[in-house]
Amino acid sequence: MILVIDFFAGMIISILAGMGIGGGGLLVLYLVYVKNMEQISAQGINLLFFIFAAVSSLLYHRKKRDMDYKMCLKLMAFGAMGAILGALTAQFLDGGVIRKMFGWLLITSGSISLLKKKKE
C-alpha cells in the first residue's frame, strides 16, 4: 500500500513539475514531511529527479530543433559552478540553517511565480 501511495505522489509531483509548478520543491517536502527522510537525502533524490527531467526536456527540444546551443553552454557552466559552490558552502553550514535557507528559497520562488502569473 505504501508503494502505491508513493507511486501516485511521484506521479502528481511529476505532472506538477512538467507544468512548471516547482515539482522539485514539492518532492523534497513530500520526502521530508511524509516519508520522514533527512533533508540532505531528500535534496539528493530531488537532484536525481531533476537530472532525468532535464535530460528528457533536452532531448525533446533537440528533436524540435528549438535550442540555443551557446546559451545552453553558458547555463551549463554557471550551473556547474553554482553546484560546486553550493556543495562547498553546505559543508560549513548547520542542517537547520540549510533547511531555513531552502524554505525561504521556496517561498521566494513561489511568490515570484505567482506574481508573474497575475501579470499575464
Which pLDDT score is estimated for 45?
A: 87
Written as tens digits, the pLDDT of the chain (120 aa) is 778 888 888 888 877 777 767 667 788 888 999 999 988 888 888 888 888 877 887 888 888 877 788 888 899 899 999 989 988 888 888 888 888 888 898 889 888 888 887 666
Nearby residues of 99 by Cβ (< 8 Å), 6 or more positions away: 39
pTM: 0.55
